[in-house]
Amino acid sequence: MIRFDNVTKIYDQNTRPALDKVSLEVDRGDFAFLVGASGSGKSTFIRLVLKEDRATRGSVYVAGQNVANIPSWRVPKLRRGIGVVFQDFRLLPNKTVAGNVAFAMQVIGKSRAMIRETVPEVLKTVGLEGKDHRMPHELSGGEQQRVAIARAIVNKPGILLADEPTGNLDPTTSMGIMKVLDRINQNGTTVVMATHDNVIVNDMRKRVIELVDGVLVRDEAEGIYIGAQGDNK
Amino acid sequence: MRLAFILGEIGSGLRRNLSMVVSVILVTFISLTFVGAAGMLQLQINQMKGYWYDKVQVAVFLCVDTSTAASCASGPVTDEQRAEIKNTLDSPAVAQYVDTYLYESQEDALGHFRDQFANSPIVDSVTADQLPESFRVSLVDPEKYEVINEIFSSLPGVEVVVDQREILERVFNVMNIASLVAVSIAAIMIVCAILLIATTIRLSAFSRRRETGIMRLVGASKAVIQLPFVLEGVIAAVIGALLASVTLWAVARFFIGDWLAQQYPDTAFISEGSVLLIAPALILLGTVLAGISSLLTLRRYLKV
C-alpha cells in the first residue's frame, strides 16, 4: 500500500537529511507504528506519502503508484485515498461535529443525500453518536480527536495516517482513541501512526518501525517501544 | 451541492472581509468610471466628426476695405475679380474636388453673424461692409483642402482661404487630451484596484487557512479551493463596474442630455444609449482584472 524505495529527503543542504535512504513497505490492511524522537523524520514520512513534499532521491509508491509521476492536478485524487489525523485535531471551530465531518464530503462534491446518510454512521464508528450538533469547544480532547478521525475516514480512504494522534491526550483517553483506530484497521484500512508514546506501542503489539535521525534502525512485527534515544515518555 | 457549497463559501468570505470588499468596490468603481468617461469622450468626438465634417467648408474670403493681405493691395474685390474666382471654381481642374459651393454676400454674412452672436452686444456695432463676402466651398474629400488653398490664395481679390476643419480639429484636440487624462487617471486607479484585490484575496486566504488546509488534506480539487476566492474578487469588481455604468448613465442622461444639449442646441451629443455600449466593456474589464489578479495572488499564497 505504501512503499519507500531508498528514499532520501533533504530540506536544507547544510543539515543532515530528514530521511536517509529509507526503504520499507506497508501492506494493505497493516497497522504500523512509526516511532522515534522528535525530528527523527516521522512527519517527513507522512508529508512524502501525501505528496506535500517531493523526495530528494528514491521513490515513494502509494497504492502501487509512484507519487513523483502524479501530475499536480491528480494530487487531490491521491489525497482522497488517504485520511490524515493530527495531534492538534484541526477542527473548524465554527462548525458542529456533524458539520466538520460533512465538510470533508462537501468539498469533494458528495451529494447531500449521501452526506446525510454517511455522517451519522461514521460518528457511530468513532463513538460519538448523539453528539452531532455539539460545537468543538464543547467537547473533550478525546472527543475532538474522534471527530478528526471521523472526518479522516468519512470518504473511506484506503490509508489512514495519524501523526501523534494521542500527543495531547491523557493515557486513558489515548487508549480509547487506539481502540477506534484498531477498529478502523479491522475494517480493512491500512493505518500508519507516528508516535512516541511507549505505553501505547507496548500495549498494542503491532508492527514497529523506528527512525533515528532519519535512518530506519528497526522494523519488527509485534514490536515494542524501545526508545533507545532516551525519548521515553 | 458543490455549487451551493461554493456559493456559501463566497458569502461567508464576503461577510468576513466586508471592509476590504467595500474598498475594492469603490476603487474599481472610480477607476472604471474614468475608463468609461474616456470611452464616452471618444464616442462624442466620433459623433461630432460625423456631424460636422459633412458641414464644414473651405471659406474663400474676398478682400474688403480694411483688408491688409498682400493680395488685397488693390482695395476691395472688384466685379471682374469675383467673376474670375467663380470661373476658377467652375473650371474642370478645381471642380473635381468641389462638391458644392455657395456665394455669401456681405449682407448674408451679417445675417449669419447676427444669428451666431444673437446674445452678444457686439451685434449692434457690426455693419455689413465690415464683413467680407466669401465663397463657401464643400469639398468632395475634406482632406484636399491644400489644393484649394494653393489655387485660391494667390488669386487677386482673395484675402484668405480658411479651412473650417482646422477650428474643429482644435476642439477635438482638447477633447482628446481630456480623454487621455481620464485614461491616465484610470490607469493609476486600475493599478490601485489590482493591488487592493490582491491584498484582499491574500487576507481572505489567510483568514480561511484552516478551511483550505483541511480541503487540501481531504483531496478537494484546486477549483473548489480557489474558486470562492476568485469569485469574491470578481463579484466585488463587477459591483464596482455596475456602479460606474450607472454613474456614466446618469451623467449622459442628466448632464449631457438635459443640460449640455440645451446649452448648445446645434451640437450633436451622444445619448445615454451610448452607455449601453460602454457598460458591458467595463464589466468585462472589471471581471478580467479581478480574475487575473486573484489567480496570481492565489498561486503564491494558496498552494494546492
Query: What's the average model confidence in pLDDT over B177-203?
Result: 88
* Same domain assignment for residues B155 and B268: no
Please compute, for residue B235, the number of CA atoms within 13 A of its CA located in the half-sphere on the CB side.
18
Put simply, the chain A residues between 100 and 159 with a CB less than 8 A from any chain B CB are: 103-104, 106-112, 151-152, 155
pLDDT of residue B304: 60
Residue finishing a domain among B163, B191, B212? B163
Which H helix or E strand runs over A21? strand A19-26
Residues B200-209 have pLDDT tens digits of 888 888 888 8
Task: Pick the more confident residue, A191 or A231.
Answer: A191
Chain B residues whose CB is inside 8 A of the A107 CB are 5, 214-215, 218, 220, 224-225
Query: What's the average model confidence in pLDDT over A11-31?
Result: 92
**Chain A contact probe: residue of B214, B216, B218, B302 with most A CBs at under 10 A:** B218
Indicate yes or no: CB of B214 within 8 angstroms of CB of A92: yes
Residue A109 phi, psi dihedral angles, 5° rounding: 80, 25
Compute the nearest-CA separation of A91 from chain B (Å): 8
* Same domain assignment for residues B64 and B142: yes
- For A108, the closest chain B residue by CA position comes to B220
Question: How many interchain CB pairs under 8 A, A with B?
Answer: 59
- For A111, the closest chain B residue by CA position comes to B1
Calpha distance B156→B71 (Å, rounded): 5
Query: Which residue range forms the structural domain that includes residue B272?
Result: 2-53+169-301
> Is A67 in CB contact (< 8 Å) with chain B?
no
> Is A84 in CB contact (< 8 Å) with chain B?
yes
Indicate yes or no: CB of A103 within 8 angstroms of CB of B214: yes
* Same domain assignment for residues B159 and B296: no
Indicate yes or no: CB of A92 within 8 angstroms of CB of B211: yes
pLDDT band, residue B119 (cuts 50/70/90): low
Compute the nearest-CA separation of B227 from chain A (Å): 12
* Same domain assignment for residues B178 and B248: yes
Query: What's the average model confidence in pLDDT over A121-133?
Result: 93
**Chain B contact probe: residue of A62, A85, A107 with most B CBs at under 10 A:** A107
Chain B residues whose CB is inside 8 A of the A111 CB are 1
CATH number at residue B88: 3.30.70.3040
* Same domain assignment for residues B140 and B190: no
Query: What's the average model confidence in pLDDT over B242-248?
Result: 94
* Same domain assignment for residues B41 and B111: no
pLDDT of residue A232: 43
Predicted structure pTM score: 0.73
* Percentage of chain A modeled with pLDDT above 90: 79
How far is the CA of A15 from the CAs of A11, A19, A20, A35, A214, in angstroms?
A: 8, 11, 12, 22, 12
Residue extents of the structural domains in chain A:
86-156
Q: Among partner residues B2, B5, B210, which is closest to A90 by beta-carbon distance?
A: B210
Residues A66-81 have pLDDT tens digits of 999 999 889 999 999 9
* Percentage of chain B modeled with pLDDT above 70: 97
Number of neighbours of residue A167 by Cβ within 10 angstroms:
16
Q: Among partner residues A76, A84, A106, which is closest to B221 by beta-carbon distance?
A: A76
Residue finishing a domain among B163, B192, B207? B163
* Same domain assignment for residues B257 and B273: yes
* Same domain assignment for residues B148 and B212: no
Residue finishing a domain among B163, B178, B194? B163
Eight-class DSSP state of A169: S
Q: What residues does B39 pair with on adjacent strands?
A: none
Chain A residues whose CB is inside 8 A of the B222 CB are 73, 76
Q: Looking up cell 476590504, which residue turns up? A: B20
All three cell numbers of A176, joined, read 480509547
Chain A residues whose CB is inside 8 A of the B224 CB are 107-109
pLDDT of residue A231: 45
Indicate yes or no: CB of A79 within 8 angstroms of CB of B218: yes
Instruction: Flag whether pLDDT at A233 surpasses 50.
Output: no
Indicate yes or no: CB of A108 within 8 angstroms of CB of B221: yes
Q: What residues does A191 pair with on adjacent strands?
A: A31, A160
Q: Taking Cα atoms as reference points, which of A210, A207, A172 lies closest to residue A190?
A: A207
Query: Looking at beta carbons, which pairs linking B210-215 to residues 24 or more positions away fall under 8 Å?
Result: B210/A90, B210/A92, B211/A92, B211/A103, B211/B9, B212/B302, B213/A90, B214/A90, B214/A92, B214/A103, B214/A104, B214/A107, B214/A151, B215/A107
Number of domains in chain B: 2
* Same domain assignment for residues B92 and B119: yes
Indicate yes or no: CB of B5 within 8 angstroms of CB of A107: yes
Chain A residues whose CB is inside 8 A of the B304 CB are 72, 75-76
* Same domain assignment for residues B93 and B147: yes
Query: What's the average model confidence in pLDDT over B194-223?
Result: 88
* Same domain assignment for residues B177 and B292: yes
With a threshold of 0.90, tell me whether the complex ipTM lies above it.
no
* Same domain assignment for residues B122 and B206: no
pLDDT of residue B144: 79
